Structure 1
Amino acid sequence: MTPVAQGPAQVLIIGAGPSGLMMAAQLLRYGIQPVVIDSRQGPTHQSKALAVQARSLEIYRQLGIIDPVIKGGRQASGLHFNYDGQAKATFAIKDTGQGFTPFPFIHIYEQSKNERALLGYLTQNSCPVYWNTSLISLQQGTGVVSVTLDNQEQQYKLICNWLIGADGAHSTVRHQLQFPFSGDTYPSQFYLADLVLDSDEDFMNLFLTQKGFAGFFPMPQKNAYRVVGNISNDLLNKADLTFEDVLPNLNEKVRKPLNINECTWFTTYHLHHRMAEKFNLGRCFLIGDAAHIHSPVGGQGMNTGLQDAYNLAWKLAGIINKRLKAEVLNTYATERMPVARNLLKTTDRAFKMVMSRNLMAGLFKKFILPLVLKRAWLNQKSRFEFFKRISQTDISYQHSSLSLHLSQLKTIKAGDRLPYLKLYDEKKQQETDLHAWCSKPGFTLITMGPLQELYVFSLAKWITQNYNGWLNFFHLPPSVKNQQVFDAFEIRTGQSKAIIIRPDMHIGLVNDVVDLEMMKNYLENVAGCLPDERII
């Protein structure tokens, strides 16, 4: 077997799960060919994580691979909530975020398909994955990371400039960096089963009882469901547990006939909630499960790992391509650690409530929780807030050092995800949207309002001379067709605004005036951009 690389590697990614593959795909957008290794024989054949949230789908759209992802998955229409086999409430999720994102739904698209979609992108860009290759050790030197790899035939050394640990909950990278992985393991044991039933509906079903839960999630294949549940106490010590062993307990939770045609996969596992005390050290970084793991409540895990990669990749690419100051990399941990910490807290609280066998908790789940949820669901604002949270579109970096808000605007602030707003491109004479304007790698400057044509030309010239290929530029003049965009940004007649969007479609700058010097100040002194003349 040929060693991974004969010479130094720019970026070495340990792990070819969704997070590692997303990291590689994002780097490829900036012309950086990473080296990707994984100890497995190949991509997973198991479904594992299921839900792809709207924010992740927006990334796939930016990558240009959204069509097969949508075609290969299934939209979950909502959730049926049951207690002791009785229907308590129904929550329709589909289209709750209509107009807020191109993908106002929860998309069922299992982990194995996510990996194959991203592997396809890597293949198109001539970036292989070296399977059967493990990290044995790493050592950081001056400006480099030295690693020892094992490809099952030999061990050998490799030098890389940057190392990304995307190697899961048992991360070798994290162990080598000696980062504590603080948290705990839930006491219960759980199972996953992929079943073929005489049923085919788009709703998810959650069955709660005093003794635990079972969840049914529709898979993209016809009549296929993922079933998740806790293992009853009498089976905890049973060796070689099978689906037939847990079936009586499952029937007890559902309390209605289950016409099962086939069980295609069954496994048992323990759940953990843990987070690394650091996300980076020197030239080494952790993303995904290597950095944080938590309960599957809300289908957040895989999506959070994809977001980690999305946040880190453009910053690392900017440093490698000498477009950004090195200090920008510090914002990866300061932006993503609070997101992971908050996620652990909320999913842990919800999961403990679901699993509690306390009498009061049982009464709460049976009588109070359905009423509270139904009442909240009747409120349009509550439904929308729920969608924003579960879709991860509400994640904001307002307190980041990369965010500068120089505006009276209260509803949209620097650090927020760029709103998805449809618009009419006057130049191209076609319908588009703000996200589509940010499809190219790098930052995007959008000016809105009445600007003299000569000034627009001078802005374009300044960008070409200083940030060519790193700052894209669009101007949106006043028009009736685009009034909804001006309303969203509270731009009155005669006013102008400048917005600079980061490469990950979060807003970096909002300014109530279009001023070249102020934009230059943001790019160089806040975002850490290096103008072309300073690139050596």
Structure 2
Amino acid sequence: MAPIPQSPVKVLIIGAGPSGLMMAAQLLRYGVQPVIVDSRQGPTQYSKALAVQARSLEIYRQLGIVDTVLNGGKPAKGFNFHYLGKPKGTFKVAESGVGQTPYPFIHIYEQHKNERVLLDYLTLNSCPVYWNTTLTSLQQGTGVVSARLTNQTEEYSIVADYLIGADGSHSAVRRWQHVHFNGDTYNSRYYLADVVLENSGEEMNMYLTAQGFAAFFPMPDAGAWRIVGNLPDKLINAENLTITDVLPALREKLRKQLVIKECRWFTTYGLHHRMADKFKIGRCFLIGDAAHIHSPVGGQGMNTGIQDSYNLAWKLAGVIKGHLKADVLNSYAAERMPVASRLLKTTDRAFKVIMSRGVVAGLIKRFALPALMNWVWKSEKFKFEAFKTLSQTDISYQNSELSLHLSQLQTVKAGDRLPLLKIFDEKKMQETDLHAWCSKPGFTLITMGPLQELYLFSLAKWITQNYNGWLNFFHLPPSVKNQHVYDYFDIKEHQNKTIIVRPDMHIGLINDIVDLEMMKNYLENVAGCIPNNTGGAGS
């Protein structure tokens, strides 16, 4: 491999797991060439994380690689709940996601495949990963970050405008920046097995007993399953375990025979719930497992790291390219830390219920929990909200300094993810959706209402003169085919609406009128945009 590019570089990414690779891919999408290194010999060969949630699939769609992800994976359409081997409930997750997203399911697509599809994207954009390269020191100076890197043959010094710590739970970046990783370790130990059974399936299965759990996740290959469970107490300190060692306890949870035709991977591990007390330290940022780790309940971990990258990349690229003021970078931690904190709390509570022991815990898991879940699952509203949470489409930045809500509308607010609504593009005379309108890099201005052609022309000209390449513009006029969109945004006859969508498809501004000065105020004084004719710092 060619040597690491000489200093200075715009962005140095430490870590080439899903979060680091997504960060690199997003920066490339905005025309910023990062340098990405990893201490490993190459991408992981193990399946590791499995679940790709709908929000991550929407991000893959924006990158233009979602078809590869969909074709290489398998949707899990729901899960079955068992206690002492007896069925206690079936929950069809996919049914409640229809209409919320193009991907109303949990997509099973192993971590090594996620890494491969992102690596292919990087390769197409001439961005190599420098493997076998370890961060040995790090310090921040005036306007730069200086790092020392070493590989198997030599040592490098590299200076970067910004540095991203995507180097996992044992992050060297976090350590060099003296950031605390607050939290705790769960008492038990756990096993993970990728196996081949006689039967395939499309639904996840959770088996609970008073002593713990075993979960089965369908994988894309025929008959392939991921099994996860807690080790029996007598095996917690044992070494060199195999699938054979846990089979008796596993069969006890299932209350039936289990024939494993092949075990492709088996490992044991501990679980932690921890969060960095800072996500931004000067010109250094922490993303993914370097910033937060938690139990695997709900398949949220890899997806949260992907969204960290998605949130930060457009801000970083905007500052580097001179489109945004540097202050906007502070919003990364302000927006993502509450998301991570909430996730740690919810996964910790759920996991403690699953792992709780004793007579009372057994009664709760056997009777109370299934009864409660079956009862609430009858509520369409609950299923709707449950899917939003699981799919991560409910994540909102309403309290962000980048959100400005100037509307009577209450069903959707500035800071929320842009809803997926089918639309008829009157200009192209074809059906599409609002997310497709936001496929280009930069902000997207969407106006609605009976606006005059001359006004729309002047608005487009103003955008070209001031925000060319950073603000895309679409107008959705009133029509029978788009009445449902007008109804959704509560636009009555002769009324207008302004929506400015951030590059990460979260709504930045909703305004009940279309006013150029108010758009300008939002873009420049709230979102930190720099007009073309004033120039930008670029770093």
Taking structure 1 as the reference length, the TM-score comes to 0.99
Deviation (angstroms), 1:32: 0.5
The answer for the alignment partner of 2:524 in structure 1 is 524
Q: Does 1:289 align with 2:289?
A: yes
C-alpha separation in 2, matches of 1:356 and 1:141: 49
Deviation (angstroms), 1:259: 1.9
Q: For 1:473, what is the secondary structure of its paired residue?
A: strand
Q: For 1:480, what is the secondary structure of its paired residue?
A: coil
The answer for the alignment partner of 1:90 in structure 2 is 90
Contact in 2 for aligned 1:311/1:504 (Cα 8 Å): yes
The answer for the alignment partner of 2:71 in structure 1 is 71
Deviation (angstroms), 1:362: 1.3
C-alpha separation in 2, matches of 1:523 and 1:289: 32
C-alpha separation in 2, matches of 1:386 and 1:49: 21
C-alpha separation in 1, matches of 2:300 and 2:238: 31
Q: What are the Cα deviations for residues 458-489 of structure 1, in whole angstroms up to 9, with x where unaligned?
A: 00000000000000000000000001110110
The answer for the alignment partner of 2:334 in structure 1 is 334
The answer for the alignment partner of 1:186 in structure 2 is 186
- Number of residue pairs the alignment of both structures matches: 536
C-alpha separation in 1, matches of 2:221 and 2:51: 15
Q: Does 1:220 align with 2:252?
A: no
The answer for the alignment partner of 2:424 in structure 1 is 424
The answer for the alignment partner of 2:122 in structure 1 is 122
Q: For 2:188, what is the secondary structure of its paired residue?
A: strand
C-alpha separation in 1, matches of 2:70 and 2:206: 25
Deviation (angstroms), 1:86: 0.7
The answer for the alignment partner of 1:400 in structure 2 is 400
Q: For 1:118, what is the secondary structure of its paired residue?
A: helix
Deviation (angstroms), 1:237: 2.0
Deviation (angstroms), 1:3: 3.3
Query: Which runs of structure 2 are paired with 1:194-233 in the superposition (5 Å)?
Result: 194-233=194-233
Aligned amino acid, residue 376 of structure 1: V
C-alpha separation in 1, matches of 2:103 and 2:264: 30
Contact in 2 for aligned 1:76/1:203 (Cα 8 Å): yes
Kindly report the root-mean-square deviation, in angstroms, between the aligned alpha carbons of the 2 structures: 0.7
C-alpha separation in 1, matches of 2:2 and 2:429: 52
Deviation (angstroms), 1:358: 2.7
Q: What are the Cα deviations for residues 113-148 of structure 1, in whole angstroms up to 9, with x where unaligned?
A: 100111111111111000010111101001111110
The answer for the alignment partner of 1:298 in structure 2 is 298
Contact in 2 for aligned 1:3/1:156 (Cα 8 Å): no
Q: For 1:31, what is the secondary structure of its paired residue?
A: coil
Deviation (angstroms), 1:2: 4.9
C-alpha separation in 2, matches of 1:238 and 1:137: 36
Q: What are the Cα deviations for residues 12-69 of structure 1, in whole angstroms up to 9, with x where unaligned?
A: 0000000000000000011000000001111111000000000000000000001010
C-alpha separation in 2, matches of 1:204 and 1:468: 48
Aligned amino acid, residue 305 of structure 1: G
The answer for the alignment partner of 2:266 in structure 1 is 266
Deviation (angstroms), 1:7: 2.7
Deviation (angstroms), 1:155: 1.5
Q: What are the Cα deviations for residues 464-518 of structure 1, in whole angstroms up to 9, with x where unaligned?
A: 0000000000000000000111011000111000000000000000000000000
C-alpha separation in 1, matches of 2:404 and 2:293: 32
Q: Does 1:145 align with 2:145?
A: yes
The answer for the alignment partner of 1:110 in structure 2 is 110
Deviation (angstroms), 1:81: 0.2
The answer for the alignment partner of 1:500 in structure 2 is 500
Aligned amino acid, residue 427 of structure 1: K
C-alpha separation in 1, matches of 2:49 and 2:130: 23
The runs of at least 4 consecutive aligned structure 1 residues that moved more than 6 Å come to: none
C-alpha separation in 1, matches of 2:223 and 2:125: 36
The answer for the alignment partner of 1:15 in structure 2 is 15
The answer for the alignment partner of 1:346 in structure 2 is 346
Aligned amino acid, residue 42 of structure 2: G
Q: For 1:368, what is the secondary structure of its paired residue?
A: helix
Taking structure 2 as the reference length, the TM-score comes to 0.99
Gaps of 5+ in 1: none
Deviation larger for 89-98 or 20-29: 89-98
Q: For 1:307, what is the secondary structure of its paired residue?
A: helix
C-alpha separation in 2, matches of 1:7 and 1:182: 34
Deviation (angstroms), 1:242: 1.1
Deviation larger for 86-95 or 11-20: 86-95
C-alpha separation in 2, matches of 1:484 and 1:509: 21
Q: Does 1:355 align with 2:355?
A: yes
C-alpha separation in 1, matches of 2:93 and 2:150: 47
Gaps of 5+ in 2: none
Q: For 2:415, what is the secondary structure of its paired residue?
A: coil
C-alpha separation in 1, matches of 2:88 and 2:7: 62
C-alpha separation in 2, matches of 1:489 and 1:156: 54
Q: For 2:185, what is the secondary structure of its paired residue?
A: strand
The answer for the alignment partner of 1:132 in structure 2 is 132
